[in-house]
Amino acid sequence: MEKREQLYEGKAKRVYATKDENSVIVSYKDDATAFDGTKKGTIVGKGVVNNKMSNFLMQILEKQGVKTHYIEELNDRETVVKKVEIVPLEVIIRNISAGSFARNYGVEEGIVFDKPTIEFSYKNDDLHDPLINSYHAIALKLATKEEIEQIKAMAFKVNDVLKDYFLGLGVKLVDFKLEFGRTADGEIVLADEISPDTCRFWDKDTNEKLDKDRFRRDMGGVEDAYKEMMKRVFGE
C-alpha cells in the first residue's frame, strides 16, 4: 500500500490517504508535546517505539475480541489502519493515582485503586480538552448513548487485558488514554495509539517511570525509558 496525499498532520503523527478509500497510512514522528502543546521537543526514536508497540498491543487486543483500527505494519514508522471518524473524546482509565488525578484531588501519586476509574475529556483544542461527563457528551452529540456504553465496556476490557500483559513484563499500567473511531459501516473500533506517550508505565519493583512523564517533568533519560519499554515488549 502506498501513501497518497497527506490528509492531516497532528502533534505526533501524519496521516496519508491510500488508494483504498477505507484505509489510511499513519506515520509516527519523533516530535513530542506536553501541557496542551506549550512544551515541545524531540524524543529520538519515539516514532518507531510508538508505532511498533501500538501495533503489537492492538494485535493482542484483537485476539481478545477488542475491535481495533489496525490493518498492517508497513515499516518501522508507518502502518495501514482503517479510516475512521474519531469520536472526539479522550477516554482515560486509571488503576493508580497519578498526574491530573493526584493534582485535582490533592492526593499523592501511587494510590492503588480497588477498581479502575474512567473519565472523558472533550477533544477540542480551542477549549483545551475539558473534562466532560457522558450526559454532556450525548447532549453535544459527540456520541450516542449506545456508543458511550460500548466505548466504556471496550476501554475496561483493554485495561483488563493490558494490565495483566504489562505486569508479566514487570510493568505497572498506572493509567492511559484511548481514542475510538467509527468505521465507514458505523462500527466503533479502538483507534489512535497505545504507547509510552499515552500510558503511564512504572517499573513493578522500583516504580521507575518508563513513559512520557520523563519528558513532561524534565527528568532526563527519556529516550532510555522508551527503549526500555521496547525491550520489555519485544526482548533485545
Q: List contacts with ligand UDP (CB under 6 A).
A: 90, 92, 98-101, 175-177, 198-200, 212
Q: How far apart are alpha carbons 155 and 53 in whole angstroms?
A: 18
CB of 58 within 8 A of CB of 50?
no
* Closest approach of ligand UDP to the CB of residue 13, in Å: 13
Which CB sits closer to ligand UDP, 56 or 122? 122
Cell numbers given for 29:
514522528
* Closest approach of ligand UDP to the CB of residue 181, in Å: 16
* Closest approach of ligand UDP to the CB of residue 102, in Å: 8
Q: Which residue is nearest to ligand UDP (CB)?
A: 99
Which CB sits closer to ligand UDP, 163 or 177? 177
Which CB sits closer to ligand UDP, 120 or 176? 176
* Closest approach of ligand UDP to the CB of residue 104, in Å: 9
Which CB sits closer to ligand UDP, 4 or 39? 39
Residue among 28, 37, 24 at smallest CA distance from 184 = 24
CB of 229 within 8 A of CB of 197?
no
CB neighbours of 4 closer than 8 A, spacing ≥ 6? 16, 17, 18, 19
User: How far is Cα of residue 168 from the mean position of the Cα atoms in its chain?
Assistant: 20
